[in-house]
C-alpha cells in the first residue's frame, strides 16, 4: 500500500536490525552480578580509548545499555564488555542493561556481530571471533537441515560468514588459522611485526617448532613467507631440528626440495585438449589457469 502524503517514514534502527529490544525494557543491574561471556575473544584494554570512555561515563553515565542474558541469579555479558569495565573504573555500582533470553549459538553470533562493529579489530580478535561464529553457524545449520547437505542451493557456513563480514572466504579461513598459533606469535601479528601470510604458514607447525620460530624472531629477524614455506614443504615430520631451522633461515643450508611429484598422463590431458595441441601449449594453458586460481585464493 502506498504511503499517504506527509506520512512519516520510519527508519530501521541498528538495534532493530540486531534484534535488540528498545531501551524501554532497560534494567539497572549490579555490575558485580554480570560475568564475561565464555571465551570472549575481544580484548578489554586499559588504553587511551578506555580512559576516554571512563571520563565520558563519569560525566554522562552509560548512554547505551549493555546486552546480557540471565544465568541463574547472575547475568552473562553478551555485548558491552568495555562499557562494563569502564563503568567499574568510573565507580558505578549499577549499569543499564537489556536482558535477552538467548540460546548458546545465538548468543555467540550476537556477541561476535556486535563487537565486530568496532573501528579497530586486532587480527587475533578476528581469528577467534570468526572461529566461534563459524562453529556456531555450522551447528545451527546442522540442526535446521539434518537430512540435506549444507552445500548446494544454500550457502555454506563459511561463505555466509564471509558475506556478512565483508571478507573473502579464503580470508576468513586464513584468520581462523591464526587460532593455531602460540600466544607469543599471535602477539607479534597483533603488533604488526609478523605478516599475516607468514603467520598462517607458521600455524601449520607443531607448537614446539613455533617456539623456535618465535625465538628466532626475537633474536634475529622476522622470517619471510617463502622461507617458512620452504621449511614446511622440505622437512618431514620429526626431521626438523631447531638448529636446522636456524641454519635454513640464516642461509647456511637449503631446505630439502619437496620430493612429491604431480603427474598427468596423456590420456587424462586428451580429455581437455585437442590432439593437435603441443605439450608446450598445454603447459602454458595449465600455468595460466593456476595463476588465475592463485590470485583467487589470495583475495
3-state secondary structure 175-200: HHHHHHCCHHHHHHHHCCCCCHHHHH
Of the given ranges (7-11, 31-35, 52-56, 262-266), which has the lowest mean pLDDT? 7-11
User: Would residue 231 count as lying in a domain?
Assistant: yes
pLDDT value at position 129? Answer: 95
Domain check: are 109 and 188 in the same one?
no
Which structural domain, as residue segments, surrounds residue 68? 17-115
Q: Name the grid cell of 127.
A: 581469528
DSSP class of 119: S
Q: Name the grid cell of 89.
A: 573504573
How far from the centroid of its chain's Cα atoms is residue 21's Cα?
28
Domain check: are 249 and 274 in the same one?
no
Domain check: are 30 and 85 in the same one?
yes
| CATH number of domain containing 79 | 3.90.1530.10
pLDDT value at position 155? Answer: 63
Domain check: are 98 and 166 in the same one?
no
Average pLDDT over residues 105-114: 94
Phi, psi for residue 71 in degrees, rounded to 5:
-145, 90
Domain check: are 193 and 128 in the same one?
no
Domain check: are 256 and 274 in the same one?
no
User: Would residue 289 count as lying in a domain?
Assistant: yes
- State the pLDDT confidence band at 296, using cuts at 50, 70 and 90: low
Phi, psi for residue 64 in degrees, rounded to 5:
-110, 120
pLDDT digit string, tens, across residues 236-289: 878 999 999 999 999 988 888 755 566 777 777 788 888 777 777 888 788 888
Mean pLDDT of all residues in the chain?
84
Torsion sign, CA atoms 133, 135, 139, 144: positive
User: Would residue 2 count as lying in a domain?
Assistant: no
pLDDT value at position 150? Answer: 40
Which helix (H) or strand (E) segment is 94 a member of? Answer: strand 94-99
- pLDDT of residue 119 exceeding 90: no
pLDDT digit string, tens, across residues 209-241: 999 999 999 999 999 999 999 999 999 878 999
What's the domain count of the chain?
4
Domain check: are 96 and 127 in the same one?
no
pLDDT digit string, tens, across residues 150-194: 444 456 888 888 888 888 888 999 999 999 999 999 999 999 999
DSSP class of 44: -
DSSP class of 22: P
Length of the chain: 299
Domain check: are 139 and 167 in the same one?
yes
- State the pLDDT confidence band at 8, using cuts at 50, 70 and 90: very low
Domain check: are 175 and 208 in the same one?
no
Distance of alpha carbon 203 from alpha carbon 179, whole angstroms: 8
Torsion sign, CA atoms 116, 121, 124, 127: positive
User: Would residue 191 count as lying in a domain?
Assistant: yes
pLDDT value at position 298? Answer: 54
pLDDT value at position 4? Answer: 40
- pLDDT of residue 22 exceeding 50: no
Domain check: are 130 and 203 in the same one?
no
User: Would residue 175 count as lying in a domain?
Assistant: yes
Task: For residue 126, give the nearest of 179, 78, 84, 82 by alpha carbon.
Answer: 179
Domain check: are 161 and 203 in the same one?
no
User: Would residue 32 count as lying in a domain?
Assistant: yes
Neighbours of 118 (CB within 10 A): 12
User: Would residue 270 count as lying in a domain?
Assistant: yes
Amino acid at each position: 500500500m502506498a504511503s499517504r502524503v506527509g506520512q512519516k517514514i520510519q527508519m530501521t534502527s541498528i538495534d532493530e536490525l540486531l534484534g535488540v529490544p528498545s531501551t524501554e525494557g532497560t534494567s539497572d543491574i549490579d555490575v558485580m552480578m554480570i560475568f564475561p561471556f565464555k571465551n570472549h575473544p575481544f580484548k578489554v584494554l586499559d588504553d587511551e580509548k578506555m580512559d576516554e570512555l571512563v571520563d565520558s561515563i563519569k560525566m554522562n553515565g552509560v548512554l547505551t545499555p549493555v546486552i546480557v542474558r540471565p544465568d541463574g541469579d547472575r547475568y552473562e555479558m553478551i555485548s558491552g564488555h568495555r562499557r562494563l569495565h569502564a563503568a567499574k573504573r568510573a565507580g558505578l555500582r549499577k549499569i543499564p542493561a537489556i536482558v535477552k533470553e538467548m540460546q548458546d549459538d545465538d548468543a555467540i553470533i550476537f556477541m561476535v556481530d556486535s563487537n565486530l562493529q568496532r573501528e579497530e579489530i586486532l587480527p587475533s580478535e578476528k581469528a577467534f571471533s570468526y572461529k566461534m561464529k563459524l562453529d556456531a553457524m555450522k551447528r545451527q545449520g546442522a540442526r535446521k537441515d539434518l537430512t540435506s547437505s549444507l552445500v548446494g542451493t544454500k550457502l555454506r557456513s563459511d561463505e555466509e560468514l564471509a558475506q556478512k563480514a565483508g571478507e573473502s572466504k579464503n580470508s576468513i579461513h586464513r584468520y581462523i588459522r591464526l587460532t593455531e598459533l602460540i600466544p607469543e606469535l599471535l602477539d607479534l601479528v597483533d603488533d604488526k611485526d609478523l605478516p599475516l601470510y607468514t603467520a598462517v604458514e607458521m600455524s601449520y607447525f607443531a607448537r614446539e617448532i613455533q617456539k623456535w620460530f618465535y625465538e628466532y624472531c626475537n633474536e634475529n629477524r622476522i622470517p619471510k613467507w617463502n622461507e617458512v614455506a620452504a621449511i614446511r614443504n622440505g622437512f618431514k615430520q620429526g626431521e626438523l631440528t631447531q638448529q636446522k631451522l636456524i641454519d635454513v633461515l640464516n642461509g647456511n643450508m637449503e631446505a630439502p626440495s619437496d620430493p612429491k611429484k604431480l603427474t598427468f598422463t596423456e590420456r587424462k590431458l586428451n580429455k581437455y585438449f585437442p590432439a593437435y595441441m603441443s605439450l608446450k601449449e598445454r603447459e602454458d594453458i595449465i600455468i595460466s589457469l593456476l595463476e588465475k586460481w592463485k590470485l583467487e585464493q589470495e583475495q
